[in-house]
Structure 1
């Protein structure tokens, strides 16, 4: 079953339009993934690196999805679907924006080093200050702003006049490999105890690919070629796809039924001395180049068809 984060969150919103905490949101999203993909494997709070905890690691349809979550709150007091909710006003939006970008940097590392094939940063909030442009002329967190239409790229850091209380343990610049467009989506609308409506919206930033190649969901982020022409060349010119196709053709020619496995593709790519990491090859085979794989990318190719567990054949 194809995994689309928008679809997962839309289904989740029908059951859980609001959460008590980030941990509640984490558990709810994991449960929704499992309901929609019964054969998936889901782990919470894994530790891929020392000192790093990943909110969710989902294995579904041969794809490893790393997910980082943020639940950023304005105050809310009310009863929703018969359940009482008392949400605090968290404030500190500048720090929270920084931490969202830090999540993306972390996901880029996880994907680049082969711990995951796809990464998702998911931010859910009822605080409109995150999706609306601020009014301050020179905010200390200008680099980390997440308002609608904002492009995140390059090395981001605090403004020079940021205080040490804000930047404590967050003083190092954050370097993004990819370019990400902030496009907010409606999640739910709930009514508080005074009869006022509160809108929840979410932001998804997608990460995939390695060695500077940034693949993004067409409904969530800007396309690579538009965001960065240098990265667009990787998609349009000689790349991992061409090397994988050459290896696949050779393997298919020597197989009695014309099929081959992901392991055989990786081994052949290595034998040929390819510069591409295993994570890149895996992502291309199981997702980008496969016609019946989960749809994660803006740019996909109908090159391969999955005919069994980790087994493929050429299309056409």
Structure 2
């Protein structure tokens, strides 16, 4: 991600982010084979599979944006980012990635580890709630300093939606990183990465 910052300040879409990340990784480590949208046993696809001398790593990406219009100062390209709605679904889907990567790593002995990444300019994703209150996605919060572990349930007491429940094997304390700060409203981008390594 540190290398990518010097090449691209912003991306048109999640697919654009994935491609730029894969391109940068391969240019840094030519011995690492990178493949996008790799089908796994059971029919699931992994956004990026990296194969090198150290083993195989599965990476999942999320790119959630607030509206921003401007120019990438690195490459001089014009961007018009759209507003994504539903913060709760962005949080949920990121944690779904973490849980899915745990499952893939546990099931496939050739998969050394996994990594879930979200890049966003949507400040409520990394900021702790301004006041404590019960929400249906309270177990799925991903703000700075939060620890994810154990059973995460969607809903409130007596009204849980079981299809969204996830059980995490690992324990992950979340630390957000600055990506870039561009001109205008919603110009600050930050990223969060969660590394997954399941005990054998």
Q: TM-score, normalised by structure 2?
A: 0.91
Q: Quick one: which of 123, 126, 131 aligns to 1:131? A: 126
Mapped contact 1:140–1:162 kept (Cα < 8 A): no
- CA deviation vs aligned residue, 1:166-209 (integer Å, no higher than 9, x gap): x6xx83410100000110011111124xxx56111110101113
Q: Which structure 1 segments of 5+ residues have no match?
A: 1-8, 211-279, 281-316
Secondary structure class of the residue paired with 1:54: strand
Alpha carbons of structure 1 residues 197 and 110: separation in structure 2 relative to 1, 3 Å: closer
Alpha carbons of structure 1 residues 160 and 197: separation in structure 2 relative to 1, 3 Å: closer
Alpha carbons of structure 1 residues 48 and 197: separation in structure 2 relative to 1, 3 Å: closer
Instruction: Provide the residue aligned with 1:148 in structure 2.
Output: 144
- CA deviation vs aligned residue, 1:14-68 (integer Å, no higher than 9, x gap): 1101000000000000001101101111110011133411000001223211100
Greater strand share, 1 or 2? 2
Counterparts in 2 of 1:252-263, with a 5 A limit? none
Instruction: Provide the residue aligned with 1:33 in structure 2.
Output: 25
**More relative contact order in 1 or in 2 (CA 8 Å, sep 6+)?**
2
1:162 Cα deviation after fit: 10
Larger Rg, first or second structure (1 or 2): 1
Alpha carbons of structure 1 residues 80 and 38: separation in structure 2 relative to 1, 3 Å: same
- How far apart in 2 are the matches of 1:48 and 1:204? 22
Computed over aligned residues only, the root mean square deviation of the Cα atoms, in angstroms, reads: 2.0
Runs of 4+ with deviation above 6 angstroms: 161-164
Q: Which structure 2 segments of 5+ residues have no match?
A: none
Alpha carbons of structure 1 residues 163 and 12: separation in structure 2 relative to 1, 3 Å: farther
Mapped contact 1:140–1:161 kept (Cα < 8 A): no
Greater helix share, 1 or 2? 1
Q: TM-score, normalised by structure 1?
A: 0.59
